[in-house]
Amino acid sequence: MPAQEQEAQIVLDAKEIPVPPSSFVFTERDVILYNLGIGATEKELQWTYEGDDEFAALPTFGVIPQFSASGSVPLDWLPDFNPAKLLHGEQYLSIKAPIPTSGELISTARLLEVLDKGKAAAVTSIVETRDTSGKLIFENSSTLFIRGSGGFGGRRNATDRGAATAANNIPKRAPDATVEEQTTASQAALYRLSGDLNPLHILPEFAAIGGFNKPILHGLCFMGISGKHVLQKFGPYKDIKVRFAGVVYPGETLVTMMWKEGDKVIFTTKVKERDTTVLASAAATLVDGAAKAKL
């Protein structure tokens, strides 16, 4: 193995740091709050009324129970670590079992991979989320880019992990489906109630420190909105992966363009008003090649 591909001792030591499990207790109210946070409406009763016969969490709800566990993976061992220089790069969610609409879920996180990108570090963690019987419900992987924390002599190239790391190149043809959805001015204020209380998404003065002229929408929120579009057009999926390529301001219009390639729906999402890509290298794997949803 070339020297530059060897795992640095600093990474090997970090993998030994214990990360305590995280409990997530929730009710139908939390599911509804999440569904509303990614744009479900009062007319879509299967997502907004607990008494509906088909009441369910939208698939990307799977990023919520794991959130505190993912955030507990230590990063301060990185050289020159500065949390203000942290960017959420990619997210992969695999849905392993039917999603409960209430109960308790236990998430366990571990450090998977740390890449030395020279001027930055790319840190990938894995979170397994189980019910109290031990049944695996979700698996998430999150990749964070920490600017200024590279140069520690670690590997540069990521391990191929199938759908979690796929490039998902856009086919050279018109999209098979396109959905536009305008976010609301209060979208971030609502979505943050599902657990991500970062002031970047609510306080103008904090957003300004990050170089934004106003609070920005959570990346996992517009991932969820695009995931909803895939569900509406192509039916249920068992995993979804995105790369965060830009910011969204609450009130902007998201355009999700989708291409069906076998059992995979490749998609990209742009902000209409600025014609800028915000989700790239994105795809969802359909459940049994799901037919078009009737939602």
| Sequence-ordered list of residues with C-beta below 8 angstroms from that of 19, at least 6 positions apart, any chain | 69, 72, 73, 74, 108, 109, 110, 111
CA neighbor of 105 nearest in space, from 146, 145, 64: 64
Q: What's the CATH code, domain 3-152?
A: 3.10.129.10
pLDDT band, residue 292 (cuts 50/70/90): low
> Is residue 66 very low, low, confident or very high in pLDDT (cuts 50, 70, 90)?
very high
pTM for the predicted model, two decimal places: 0.94
Whether 5 shows a pLDDT value over 90: the answer reads no
Tell me the pairing of strands 120-131 and 136-147.
antiparallel
Hey, what CATH topology would domain 177-289 get? Thiol Ester Dehydrase; Chain A (3.10.129)
Active-site residues: which are they?
196, 201, 216, 219
> In the block, which residue shows the tokens 């992966």?
241
Reported confidence tier of residue 168, pLDDT bands at 50, 70, 90? very high
Residue ranges of the chain that CATH labels 3.10.129.10: 3-152, 177-289
Q: How sure is the predictor about 293, in pLDDT bands with cuts at 50, 70 and 90? A: very low
pLDDT of the residue at 294 = 41
Q: Which two tokens stand for residue 258?
A: 């989708």
Predicted pLDDT at 1: 39
What pLDDT digit, counting tens, does each position of 196-252 carry? 999 999 999 999 988 899 999 999 999 999 999 999 999 999 999 999 999 999 999
